[in-house]
């Protein structure tokens, strides 16, 4: 069976890439990234480098309309990224409908190539307040894609119930801990590895790594 990984170049999706390579084998995995005007677009270059090194075909689709539809800190350069998530509202880095679009375009891309498995790095264990990262959404989207395209997709979410510490542990189990630690870009301010240390993505990533290191 062949798999398509939705790959941003960050910690989670890159861990999913190596998970897919381990499960489905080199030659059966492709990756797809999206350029939607994100401020940390450099993540795609790191994704490309990793795919090139590991012989994984990598394609990038441009989705510029997202930045016109959703006013958020990831696509609006005039809006500061909140350093802490508000208690009663989603963070201002929420890009409305992003994962709905990502999965839909991935499904079209996959069907044209005879690929049935879609792999995405969403998860709700260390929940960031993004509603389209929840398991119930993924399951509903999977059913909708199958019905709407008359094709049997299997949407895999290997990180759904893993904390950030457990995701680091998975990277170590897959033998790619140093690759994930030093060659992925999760930081919303576009800094590779440990990142800026101030944005919400860095808080989650670095806190998880500290917990993982302390558990070893």
Per-residue pLDDT, 85: 60
Closest to 34 in 3D by CA, of 93, 103, 80, 81 = 103
- Write out pLDDT tens, residues 163-181: 999 999 999 999 999 999 9
Between 30 and 94, where is the model more confident? 30
Q: Averaged over 123-127, what is the pLDDT?
A: 76
Mean pLDDT of 71-82: 75
| 29, β-bridge pairs | 3
The residue range of the domain holding 66 is 3-163
Give the 3-state DSSP-derived string for the chain, with helices as H, strands as E and coil as C.
Answer: CCEEEECCCCHHHHHHHHHHHHHHCCCCEEEEEEECCCCCCCHHHHHHHHHHHCCCCEEEEECCHHHHHCCCCCCCCCCCCCCCCCCCCCCCCCCCCHHHHHHHHHHHHHHHCCCCEEECCCCCCCCCCCHHHCHHHHHHHHHHHHHHHCCCCEEECCCCCCCHHHHHHHHHHCCCHHHHHHHCCCCCCCCCCCCCCCCHHHHHHHHHHHHHHHHC
Percent of the chain with pLDDT over 70: 94
CATH number at 29 reads 3.40.50.620
Please report whether residue 149 resides in a domain: yes
Which of the four pLDDT bands, split at 50, 70 and 90, describes residue 17?
Answer: very high
Q: Determine, yes or no, domain membership for 189.
A: no
Angle at 62 between CA 85 and CA 131, to 5 degrees: 30
Asked whether residue 212 is assigned to any structural domain, the reply reads no
- The answer as to whether 31 is a domain residue is yes
Compute the mean pLDDT over every residue in the chain, rounded to the nearest whole number: 91
Asked if residue 204 is part of any domain, the answer here is no
Task: Note the pLDDT tens digit of each residue in 199-215.
Answer: 888 988 999 999 999 98
**Residue 97 confidence (pLDDT) above 80:** no
Going across the sheet that includes 117-119, the strands are 58-62, 29-35, 3-6, 117-119, 154-156
In a domain, 76, yes or no: yes
In a domain, 206, yes or no: no
Q: Give mean pLDDT, residues 42-60.
A: 97
In the chain, the number of structural domains is 1
Q: Is residue 120 domain-resident?
A: yes
Summarize the confidence of residues 187-199 as an average pLDDT.
90
> Torsion over CA of 51, 1, 6 and 207, rounded to 10 degrees?
-80
């Amino acid at each position: 069976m062949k798999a398509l990984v939705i790959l941003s170049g960050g910690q989670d999706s890159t861990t999913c890439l190596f998970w897919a390579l381990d499960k489905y084998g080199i030659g059966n995995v492709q990756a797809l990234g999206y350029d939607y005007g994100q401020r940390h677009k450099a993540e795609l270059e790191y994704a490309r480098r990793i795919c090139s090194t590991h012989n994984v075909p990598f394609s990038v689709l441009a989705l510029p309309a997202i930045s016109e539809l959703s006013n958020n800190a990831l696509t609006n350069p005039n809006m500061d990224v909140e350093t802490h998530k508000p208690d009663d509202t989603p963070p201002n880095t929420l890009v409305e409908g992003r994962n709905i679009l990502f999965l839909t375009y991935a499904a079209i891309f996959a069907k044209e190539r005879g690929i049935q498995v879609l792999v995405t790095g969403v998860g709700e264990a260390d929940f960031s307040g993004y509603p389209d990262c929840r398991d119930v959404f993924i399951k509903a989207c999977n059913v909708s894609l199958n019905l709407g395209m008359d094709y049997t997709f299997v949407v895999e979410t290997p990180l759904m119930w893993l904390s950030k510490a457990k995701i680091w542990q998975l990277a170590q189990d897959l033998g790619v801990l140093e690759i994930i630690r030093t060659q992925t870009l999760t930081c919303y301010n576009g800094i590779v590895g440990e990142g800026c240390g101030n944005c919400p993505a860095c808080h989650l990533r670095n806190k998880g790594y500290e917990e993982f290191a302390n558990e070893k």
